[in-house]
Amino acid sequence: MISLRVAIIQTEGCHCEIRKPANMLRHIQIHTIASRKAAVDLIQNGLVRGISQSLQCRRPEVELTSVRYPGVRRGNYAQLSDRHVQHFRSILPKERVITETEDVAGYNVDWLRMVRGVSQIVLKPKITEEVSAILEYCNAENLAVCPQGGNTGLVGGSVPVFDEVIISTSLMNSIVSLDELSGILVCQAGCILENLESYLSERGFMMPLDLGAKGTCQIGGNVSTNAGGIRLIRYGSLQGSVLGIEAVKADGEVIDCLSSLKKDNTGYHLKHLFIGSEGTLGIVTKVSIQCPPSPKAVNVAFLGLDSFDDILRTFTEARSGLGEILSSCEMMDLLSLDAATSNLKLQRPIGEFPFYMLIETSGSNGTHDEEKLTKFLETLMANGVVRDGTVASEPSRIKLMWNLREGITGGLLHDGYVYKYDISLPHNSFYAIIPELRTLLPADKVGRICGYGHVGDGNLHLNITTPKFDPDVLKIIEPFVFEWTSKLKGSVSAEHGIGFKKTQYIHFSKSQSSLNLMVNIKKLMDPKGILNPYKVLPAQH
Amino acid sequence: MISLRVAIIQTEGCHCEIRKPANMLRHIQIHTIASRKAAVDLIQNGLVRGISQSLQCRRPEVELTSVRYPGVRRGNYAQLSDRHVQHFRSILPKERVITETEDVAGYNVDWLRMVRGVSQIVLKPKITEEVSAILEYCNAENLAVCPQGGNTGLVGGSVPVFDEVIISTSLMNSIVSLDELSGILVCQAGCILENLESYLSERGFMMPLDLGAKGTCQIGGNVSTNAGGIRLIRYGSLQGSVLGIEAVKADGEVIDCLSSLKKDNTGYHLKHLFIGSEGTLGIVTKVSIQCPPSPKAVNVAFLGLDSFDDILRTFTEARSGLGEILSSCEMMDLLSLDAATSNLKLQRPIGEFPFYMLIETSGSNGTHDEEKLTKFLETLMANGVVRDGTVASEPSRIKLMWNLREGITGGLLHDGYVYKYDISLPHNSFYAIIPELRTLLPADKVGRICGYGHVGDGNLHLNITTPKFDPDVLKIIEPFVFEWTSKLKGSVSAEHGIGFKKTQYIHFSKSQSSLNLMVNIKKLMDPKGILNPYKVLPAQH
């Protein structure tokens, strides 16, 4: 039994890969898989259930970003030369300066395989001082840089657009300290989220965030993108739980705000400039984070409902009746769940309903939690709000339920092309865009229009699929979705960030005065604009 | 019965006042009080219990800040002229441009009556556009400005140092909206915290912060100072619960980041520049804040313990056994409690012990909470960690217990002069500075060396009293306290901020690179330095 990171699955004419196993797949033998069917079998027999969303057909080449987006022009940065490479080799040992095209290739492509850069070099620092030396040099030499963590982002933020020098934080993976009295963890940016979770769980603590990519994503990337995920309703955003940050500015200066205190009101709270700025203001090198104690009991209820109004009633009742033990409140419509059940052959635990909810409780007393959950469900089923439901408290059954929710993303890819939107909306307007789009889009062209997401946090994942990319369909969807969201004062990117792909839509959620201030802060902190260029801020700035 | 804000108490030769009643004093008839004894009677008979910390003898004059701190020099700002006043009268109605010396006087002095400015004008805008017009003009005319909320700060941040134009937000007190599905409140900056709490409690919600000054402090000031308080252990900091901010920059530009969404990852998270920057980067005009549901049950345990180690054991057990219902975890040593019991004649509910704790639970199920609390106390009393204790669940008894904790600050003032420190320290070094100071300070000169505070958050309020101000004692305390704190990587200001009084100590908690970046951000956002000058950043910058 060994730890599996990537299993290559040979299929007809191309090859698929199962990437970054979710936490239920920590120990599995490597299988040689001869066909797509074998992969599906593997999923069905439960060995790799829940990670099937990562099953993708790898095309021989992903189109270059510079070709797919011809409107984006390379900035006036220096070209990498042998002299530069030699200098990097004076900062890092040879094996951490990667220049072989084949070895660099994987760092140039994003997880969704939608964007691809042409960087010729990957640098792998292990300590802050190396990051500092690299950036100081790149800034002096006017070399653009792309910081990369686990490369699990969904908006093209973590790969180069052109030939930016890639700085990978993957070897910066040491845990610095854990204060077992306060639960404050200090670690390097490259620690993988799931590894931190394992480390903490052995010591009675947990990470305050959890997301599908936990097996690959790094805490530095999580912090740089202000990652949300499924525990936000209970443990809040990273803006609240990150206590300190060490980051390196574009010019190599180390900004040490690595406070490991819950309270520190001494001057401007600079750490927030690095949380969510997606590596454009500095490279996060260390993080200090408040970790809550592990719950003693976890329960998951999977519910079937008739209408979105019933979802809102259930959410309100959950907040009141489950109160402080509510740790997730997720919704999915039938078509979303169907992407996991039909496309991935996962089993639906209850009958067919227009809507489903997954509600999780985490608490310090199993008996109390069970009582609260039972009463909550009895109330909702008695008054007909919840039509059917099932509850799990054993870890294996809980995983099966979460697999359904987390399998949707991957299941959708099986439809063909997916138009993905991640929007925040007020609760009472949360779902209205789905029926609206169903009237707008031509039924004969569109496979699926569905919505799921973190209803407790007002965050909808809106997905539309077509057999293959269809520019006519896209024209109907955009800018309609953004205008709709903007009209409701929603956010055009709730948790995925802006990255490369959404820079032209940021104004739908941000005022011009805010954008101007962002541009000025960028100029102040990175005057040459070498840090993750073409990302976050619109090009005209 | 009317709402009482200030009761003037005549005493021998001067007059005392009871300011800003805590929430237990919302409805009380104004008493004409002939003596200090009568005031104490009023406290003792319970009518004003808990606010006695505000009982102070008002000297005819507070020394001018410019006299007490001769090292601080007035910046090169314009002097207020009649022309300026005329212009302000074109922006605001006459009654909101206050220039009578007597009327302005109260705005020039801080709550602790330790600093006093000589502003000649107070402006009282009601809407953001008025703040914008005022600042645009002040910036153009090079007039320095001091934003003022409830003026309850403890570090001299909310009053002018010299003749700054005072902009009071006290008339900006409208609630804009409350989304009863999400619990997201949007309001103007001048709303008084207690009023918001009342408004919310009628609708099933609560403010995520609570502090002694709630009857007077304003949410804009809370946000501008990143106020902490007694609920932080449960509901986190304002950096986490504030969802959006509208603020006006020095040049009058309105920065609209007033998102009322839990998740919004579109660009840099600018709101955090205004949270905790104490009005030096902009004036907060509106706030959007995530409010949790009101608890259905609240319990408070008041415990006696033998040692600080036992306090840490109790805290660890509380986090584990009370888990998600723990809403406050406060400690006080005997001498701290004595300031409330001896000086204010409040009654101690249990016998004499070296240490006390106040532990509060807030939950959604009273029976469950009581069971958890009972089990928690039984465990700790059985193993001898807790020596004695009493539990309250009725609001009136809960208030009595909180009065003891909240009465300490005011009780200390009765000793004479109070040297106050508000520091964050790692849990295992939390209390060590107190015995250390007891060996350093001459027993014949010092009245009391005591510590209390938010042990759950690692925040110690260290207080030393002498009969009157003694510079020799101060020399022993400072910079010792700051150096001690810095050595332990603590914070020299956990929740009170830097304000005017601590600018020279900020470097004990912040690196030079961080300070440089703060200075550059200040220059970017307020190039002329008109906003709350002499505050937060050290003068040399």
Please state which CATH number belongs to domain A416-502: 3.30.70.2740
Please state which CATH number belongs to domain A296-414: 3.30.70.2190
Position B484, amino acid = W
Please give the order of strands across the beta sheet that includes B145-148: B97-98, B122-123, B165-168, B145-148
B272·A273 Cβ contact <8 A: yes
Cis-peptide, bond into residue A479, ω within 30° of zero: yes
Which of A324, A360, A111, A466 has the alpha carbon at shortest distance from B366?
A: A324
* Distances A182 to A204, A289, A362, B262, B456 between C-alpha atoms, Å: 11, 10, 20, 26, 8
Q: What is the pLDDT of residue A540?
A: 62
A265·B498 Cβ contact <8 A: yes
Q: What is the pLDDT of residues A422-478, one digit of tens each?
A: 999 998 899 999 999 999 999 999 999 999 999 999 999 999 999 988 999 999 999
Separation between Cα atoms, residue B18 and residue B56, nearest integer Å: 7
Tell me which residue in B272, B495, B498 faces A263 most closely, judged by beta carbons: B495
B427·A181 Cβ contact <8 A: yes
CB B532 within 8 Å of CB B284: no
List chain A residues with CB under 8 Å of B276: 265, 268-269
List chain A residues with CB under 8 Å of B329: none
Residue A332 is encoded by which pair of tokens?
């999915």
Residue in chain A nearest B456 by alpha carbon: A182
* Distances A169 to A118, A247, A283, B126 between C-alpha atoms, Å: 19, 12, 9, 50
Q: What is the pLDDT of residues A18-34, one digit of tens each?
A: 443 433 333 332 333 33
Mean pLDDT of chain A: 89
A46 pLDDT more than 70: no
List chain A residues with CB under 8 Å of B253: 513
The structural domains of chain B, with segments of one domain joined by +, span 7-58, 92-294+510-541, 297-487
Q: Pick from B231, B257, B259, B265 the residue to mutate for testing the A interface (most A CBs within 10 Å).
A: B265
Tell me which residue in B237, B276, B496 faces A240 most closely, judged by beta carbons: B237
CB A179 within 8 Å of CB A288: no
B272·A272 Cβ contact <8 A: yes
Separation between Cα atoms, residue B423 and residue B409, nearest integer Å: 15
Residue in chain B nearest A275 by alpha carbon: B269
Q: How far apart are the first and last CA of chain B?
A: 52
Separation between Cα atoms, residue A341 and residue A328, nearest integer Å: 21
Residue in chain B nearest A426 by alpha carbon: B261
Q: What is the mean pLDDT of residues A322-333?
A: 97
Which of A83, A109, A87, A108 has the alpha carbon at shortest distance from A97?
A: A87
- How many angstroms separate the CA of residue B461 from the nearest CA in chain A? 13
Residue in chain A nearest B429 by alpha carbon: A181
A259·B491 Cβ contact <8 A: yes
Residue with the bigger pLDDT between A532 and B36: it is: A532
Residue in chain B nearest A369 by alpha carbon: B368
Q: Pick from B263, B317, B461, B501 the residue to mutate for testing the A interface (most A CBs within 10 Å).
A: B263
A365·B323 Cβ contact <8 A: yes
A8 pLDDT more than 60: no
Residue in chain A nearest B425 by alpha carbon: A261
Topology agreement, domain B92-294+510-541 and domain B297-487: no
Q: What is the pLDDT of residue B212?
A: 87
CATH class as words, domain A96-294+510-541: alpha beta
Residue B275 is encoded by which pair of tokens?
């949270």
CATH class as words, domain B92-294+510-541: alpha beta
Please state the ipTM of this predicted complex.
Answer: 0.89
Separation between Cα atoms, residue A492 and residue B264, nearest integer Å: 8
Residue in chain A nearest B518 by alpha carbon: A268
Within chain B, which residues score under 50 in pLDDT?
1-40, 45-59, 541
- How many angstroms separate the CA of residue A496 from the nearest CA in chain B? 7
Q: Pick from A264, A325, A510 the residue to mutate for testing the B interface (most B CBs within 10 Å).
A: A264
CB atoms within 10 A of CB B343: 21
What count of CB pairs under 8 Å joins A to B? 283
Tell me which residue in A262, A281, A312 faces B458 most closely, judged by beta carbons: A262
Which of B333, B309, B468 has the alpha carbon at shortest distance from B408?
A: B333
Q: What is the pLDDT of residue B370?
A: 97
Q: What is the pLDDT of residues A94-145, one digit of tens each?
A: 999 999 999 999 999 998 888 999 999 999 999 999 999 999 999 999 999 9
Please state which CATH number belongs to domain B297-487: 3.30.70.2190
The torsion angle over the Cα atoms of residues B179, B184, B186 and B192, rounded to 10 degrees, is: 110
Cis-peptide, bond into residue B147, ω within 30° of zero: no
Share of chain A above pLDDT 90, in %: 84
Tell me which residue in B263, B293, B536 faces A494 most closely, judged by beta carbons: B263
- How many angstroms separate the CA of residue A33 from the nearest CA in chain B? 39
Q: Name the residue with tokens 């592990």.
A: A294
Residue in chain B nearest A245 by alpha carbon: B514
CB A363 within 8 Å of CB A325: yes
A1 pLDDT more than 50: no
List chain B residues with CB under 8 Å of A525: 517
Q: What is the pLDDT of residues B461-494, one digit of tens each?
A: 999 999 988 999 999 999 999 999 999 999 999 9
Q: What is the pLDDT of residues B393-424, one digit of tens each?
A: 999 999 999 999 999 988 998 999 899 999 99
A408 pLDDT more than 60: yes
Q: What is the pLDDT of residue A454?
A: 96
Tell me which residue in A181, A324, A493 faces B325 most closely, judged by beta carbons: A324
Q: Pick from A242, A262, A289 the residue to mutate for testing the B interface (most B CBs within 10 Å).
A: A262
Separation between Cα atoms, residue B196 and residue B187, nearest integer Å: 9
